[in-house]
Amino acid sequence: MSRACFATVLALMVAVVFAAGRAHAQADFDRPGGDYQRIAAPSGDPAACALLCERDRRCRAWSFIYPREGDGTDDVACWLKNTVPPRVKAPNTVSGVRGAGVVERRTDDKETSTDRFGGDYRSFGMATDASGEACRAACEGDSKCRAWTYARPGYASRGARCFLKSTITPPRRKPGLISGVVR
């Protein structure tokens, strides 16, 4: 293979990698504007919103809004857009462009869209917290707690709820929940 051909192939591979990196949906971002349809999303899963966009030829982008307690938006909503508006920071929202998969953040201390089912010894209602930090802090402040799950409003009860767990159970995908393990 000639150097020119190799350089061209390498440049194309780099472009594909960078394009793929931008092609994921983004948690805590909205794309305001360009809305042509609002769809109730009873499954409460941003991946369902992305799929609706994929199946509609007019759709170029989408925004999924988790329910928010106290502001009149108790229903989960999927907004389909006929343009690709710029993204803006917005808690409780996941947005993406057509063709983008939903990849929510997973860090060492938080597991987005994850439940750690079972092991509960205490649960309590709490103020809405898009990050789940207050629930994590409650677990860290309790010597019995080994893991926690924060449920956004509308997913385990009408309001936000924190579940403290005395055992570490396997994680499983569950939209609307954020979990973590205390080491």
Tens-place pLDDT, residues 109-132: 788 888 999 999 999 999 887 788
Candidate ranges 45-54, 107-116, 140-149, 174-183; pick with highest mean pLDDT = 140-149
Half-sphere exposure of 130 (CA within 13 A, CB side): 14
Q: How far apart are CA 47 and CA 87, in angstroms?
A: 18
Domains and CATH numbers, the chain: 3-97 (3.50.4.10), 111-181 (3.50.4.10)
User: 36-62, pLDDT tens digit by residue?
Assistant: 999 887 667 888 888 889 999 999 999
**C-alpha closest to that of 49 among 3, 107, 102:** 102
Tell me: the pLDDT tens digits for 61-98?
A: 999 988 765 544 556 789 999 999 999 998 888 898 98
Quote the distance between the C-alpha of residue 85 and its chain's center: 19
